Amino acid sequence: MTEIVLHDVDQVLVDRIRRVADARGWTMPRTLLHLLEQGLHVYEGDGRVHFDNSENEVLQAALAALEGIPDDAGFAMIGKLPGDGSGA
């Protein structure tokens, strides 16, 4: 495997990486590899957020619950445009 060496890394960044490693019980090299892989995946992607099935189901249920709030002059109007007919 290729060795990559970083010089002059900000201590705050090193501390953040170390916290991830400690929280996961990973070595620093494994943590750095994982963070690089995930970061590249996000960076090279299309920028859209992707949910797994369980997250998607929870979000859909929350949206359905919000859509069921009856119209009134206050809370239910949050996020709605007056007179657009779409309700959102």
- Span 18-62, pLDDT tens digits: 999 999 999 999 999 999 988 887 777 766 667 778 888 898 999
Question: What is the reported pLDDT for 45?
Answer: 73
Cα separations in angstroms, 24 against 9, 18, 31: 22, 10, 8
CA dihedral 33→35→36→39, nearest 10 degrees, is 160
Question: In 19-42, which positions are buried (b, 16+ CB within 10 angstroms) versus exposed (e)?
Answer: eebeeeeeeeeebbeeeeeeeeee
